[in-house]
Amino acid sequence: MLPKQHRWVKLLGIAMLVGLLLAPALQAQAASEVKIGLVVPLTGKLAPFGQSSLAACEIAADFINKAGGVKGLGGAKVVLLPVDSGSDPTSAGSATQRLLSREKVAAVIGCFASSLSLAASEVTERSRVPFLTMSFTDKLTERGFKYLFQVVPKATDIGAGQVIQAVDIGKKTGNPVKRIAILYEDTAYGSSQADGLADEAKKMGLEVALKEGYPAGITDVTSIVQKLRMANADIVFPVSYFTDAVLIIRSMRQAGLKTPIFGGAAGYVIQEFREALGDQVEGILSINTSNYDHYGELGEAYRNKVKKFMPHEAFEHAVCLYAAVAGMDEAKSADPEKLGPAIHKIHMTTMPAAGLPGGGVKFDQTGLNTLAHPITAQWQKGEMVSVWPASYAKGEAYWPK
């Protein structure tokens, strides 16, 4: 080898060695801090949901720190590490992996969308780091994971809830429900909820005139709406994220379809939905896992800061943060491996966890919050009002015309 090349190789080798030696030193963190990762979609079509969750968790972290930090760790301050999960499962998995290999986090909260949460939690479980989520596809809690925690009910229960509650409201307002139509976005969230819907409907003896899945990111729903018209249903249960929800409602209105709509949360319960459709949202019902007329202090702070009402995913992610902190109080440690079992032990009954239907948080061995149950809210005069069950209701439901 030429002497010149020799020199470069030596320099490169030395540089690499120095870098490797320095790296661990640079990773030392302040002792009175505890890091919690937040992996949510900050870009892409799910961005509104991720951004709202980020804002909520920042407010929550602020509240916690102002109240003295994590008591179980001697008042350590919560530091939130937001990471963009992107809009597809692989990027969520990689983002989580990157987070775990670069930072020492006590827990990870995320990812709003069920498909993203499935991928991210695969990573956290293998690294034995607690993953707290408000995603609800059934599979999340069916994998025998020990480090997964879900603060809301399962998708099939939520779907079943949609049917049960719709029939109930129909009965009370004199509108019997016999034929139903189900439209769903064909991802983890949509398809599991739709399955729950269809199964419960069959159990109740209702006729499922249409069960139509559509690809995520669909841009033209003309044929779906045509199928819906052909189905001639008493009520339609669309399970969609934001853009497809707006598309469907607009197309239905355009086609003159007046079938009552009972949405499946996600796109149907955010402020952007109302902003996109204006008065056309009036009367639209939706299932939800919680509603902002129960969010108390956190909800108010959110509304003041973001100028929109606090959507359910934002609130529930904040509850996840509180749950993680409660776990750290219980374990008196920020070691993720110890935190897992500790979170299984907690039982939260005060605000903000009490804002959830069911009044709190307690996880069973699969990681499911056994206290939670779905509720129904309705768009009334531009606001979402909880209408069912009576224990959670703040208003009366009416059958949309």
Residue 62, judged by CB atoms within 10 A of its CB (0-12, 13-18, 19+), counts as middle
Residue (224 or 348) nearer to another protein, CB: 224
CB of 334 to another protein, least distance (A): 18
CB of 342 to another protein, least distance (A): 22
Residue (122 or 316) nearer to another protein, CB: 122
**Number of helices and strands (H, E) in the chain?**
12, 14
Residue (174 or 256) nearer to another protein, CB: 256
CB of 221 to another protein, least distance (A): 9
CB of 127 to another protein, least distance (A): 7
Q: Which of 148, 199, 155, 42 is nearest to 365 (CA)?
A: 148
Residue (242 or 315) nearer to another protein, CB: 242
CB 236 within 8 A of CB 262: yes
CB of 227 to another protein, least distance (A): 6
Cis amide leading into 389 (omega within 30):
yes
Kindly provide the residue ranges of all beta strands, DSSP E only, lying in 306-374, ordered along the sequence. Answer: 347-348, 361-362
Q: Which of 154, 176, 125, 165 is nearest to 286 (CA)?
A: 165
**Could you tell me how far CA 211 lies from the centroid of its own chain?**
24
List the beta bridge partners of residue 263. 286
CB of 249 to another protein, least distance (A): 9
Residue (185 or 316) nearer to another protein, CB: 185
Report which DSSP code applies to 265: S
Kindly provide the residue ranges of all beta strands, DSSP E only, lying in 147-258, ordered along the sequence. Answer: 148-150, 179-185, 207-214, 235-239
- Give the separation between CA 350 and CA 31, rounded to whole angstroms: 29
3-state secondary structure of 135: coil
Residues in the chain: 401
CB burial of 116-132 (b: ≥16 within 10 Å; e: otherwise) equals bbbbbbbbbbebebbbb
Residue (114 or 290) nearer to another protein, CB: 114
Residue 280, judged by CB atoms within 10 A of its CB (0-12, 13-18, 19+), counts as middle
CB of 283 to another protein, least distance (A): 17
Of the chain, the end-to-end C-alpha distance in Å amounts to: 85
CB of 32 to another protein, least distance (A): 25
CB of 247 to another protein, least distance (A): 7
Footprint of another protein (CB under 8 A)? 2, 20, 42-45, 47-48, 82-84, 86-90, 93-95, 97-98, 101-102, 114-115, 118-119, 122-123, 125-127, 137, 139, 143-145, 186-188, 191-192, 212-220, 222-224, 226-227, 230, 242-243, 246-247, 250-251, 253-256, 276
CB of 90 to another protein, least distance (A): 4
Report which DSSP code applies to 307: S
Q: How many CB atoms lie within 10 A of CB 389?
A: 16
CB 311 within 8 A of CB 46: no
